[in-house]
């Protein structure tokens, strides 16, 4: 079984469109003045200087599966019918994790305490979208790697706490991805810190079509 692969630095461009959507902007219905747009763009630029994306990934073979759970090599059990359905044709899974680091969260807290709430909201939105985009980056990395092996990565990914895949599974992600190496911790309620830290699982199949 492979160990976790650590990505000490993930460099991506800010996903402007998704950040604006998270802020409630709709291209055909929301009207922003040039001044407001410039203010938002400056805050996003600021966020980029404070977000230090790191990530981790790990390929693990599927040992057993049925309609309600997937058992990985090493004994980790992921229970959940929706996840089991997603992974029904997969011989391996890819676990992924990413974090923004604490600097952006410190800036959000400072702006909130200093009553610069508008900028705090933009910084928070940028952090949320960029850490999610870091998972996209990891997926693209493995898509290219797996292509050489005649394998494909599923398009969809699944996170603990979604549907019937309980949040307590976050602890398995934390351990298997060695997230301590990224400066991430987990509490007794299975919440990761820094707050802008995310994990997900997707499947690996041989040839065929990606879902």
Residue spans per domain, the chain: 5-206
pLDDT (0 to 100) of residue 31: 80
Q: With contact defined as beta carbons under 8 Å apart, do 95 and 173 qualify?
A: yes
pLDDT (0 to 100) of residue 109: 96
Per-residue pLDDT band for 209 (boundaries 50, 70, 90) equals: low
**Alpha-helical regions (H) of the chain:** 16-22, 34-50, 81-86, 103-113, 117-147, 170-176
Determine the distance from the C-alpha atom of residue 185 to the mean position of all C-alpha atoms in its chain, rounded to a whole number. 15
Q: Which CATH number fits domain 5-206: 3.40.50.170, 2.170.190.11, 3.40.630.30, 3.40.109.40?
A: 3.40.109.40
Q: What average pLDDT does the chain have? A: 94
Q: Is 171 exposed, middle or buried (0-12, 13-18, 19+ CB in 10 A)?
A: middle
Determine the distance from the C-alpha atom of residue 115 to the mean position of all C-alpha atoms in its chain, rounded to a whole number. 29
pLDDT greater than 80 at residue 30: no
pLDDT greater than 80 at residue 8: yes
Provide the 8-state DSSP code for 32: -
| pTM greater than the 0.95 cutoff | no
Q: Rounded to whole angstroms, how far apart are CA atoms 111 and 107?
A: 6
Query: 109-146 burial, b if ≥16 CB within 10 A, otherwise e?
Result: eebeeeebeebbbbbbbbbbbbbbbbbebbbebbeeeb
What 3-state class would DSSP assign to 92?
A: strand
pLDDT (0 to 100) of residue 211: 58
Contacts for 126 with CB less than 8 Å, ≥ 6 apart: 14, 19, 43, 44, 47, 48, 51, 104
58 or 36, which is more confident? 58
């Amino acid at each position: 079984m492979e160990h976790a692969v650590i990505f000490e630095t993930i460099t991506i461009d800010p996903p402007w469109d998704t950040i604006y959507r998270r802020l409630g902007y709709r291209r055909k219905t929301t009207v922003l003045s040039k001044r407001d747009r410039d203010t938002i763009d400056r805050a996003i630029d600021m966020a980029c200087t404070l977000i230090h994306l790191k990530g981790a990934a790990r390929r693990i073979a599927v040992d057993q599966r049925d309609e309600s759970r997937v058992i990985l090599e090493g004994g980790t059990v992921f229970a959940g019918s929706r996840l089991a359905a997603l992974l029904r044709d997969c011989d391996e899974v890819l676990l992924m994790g990413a974090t923004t680091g604490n600097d952006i969260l410190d800036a959000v807290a400072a702006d909130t305490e200093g009553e610069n709430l508008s900028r705090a909201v933009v910084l928070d939105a940028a952090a949320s979208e960029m850490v999610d985009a870091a998972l996209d980056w990891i997926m693209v990395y493995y898509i290219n790697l797996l292509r050489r092996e005649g394998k494909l990565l599923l398009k969809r990914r699944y996170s603990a706490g979604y549907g019937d895949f309980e949040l307590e599974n976050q602890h398995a992600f934390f351990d298997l991805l060695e997230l301590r190496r990224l400066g991430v911790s987990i509490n007794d309620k299975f919440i990761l810190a820094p707050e802008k830290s995310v994990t997900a699982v997707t499947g690996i199949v041989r040839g065929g079509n990606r879902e």
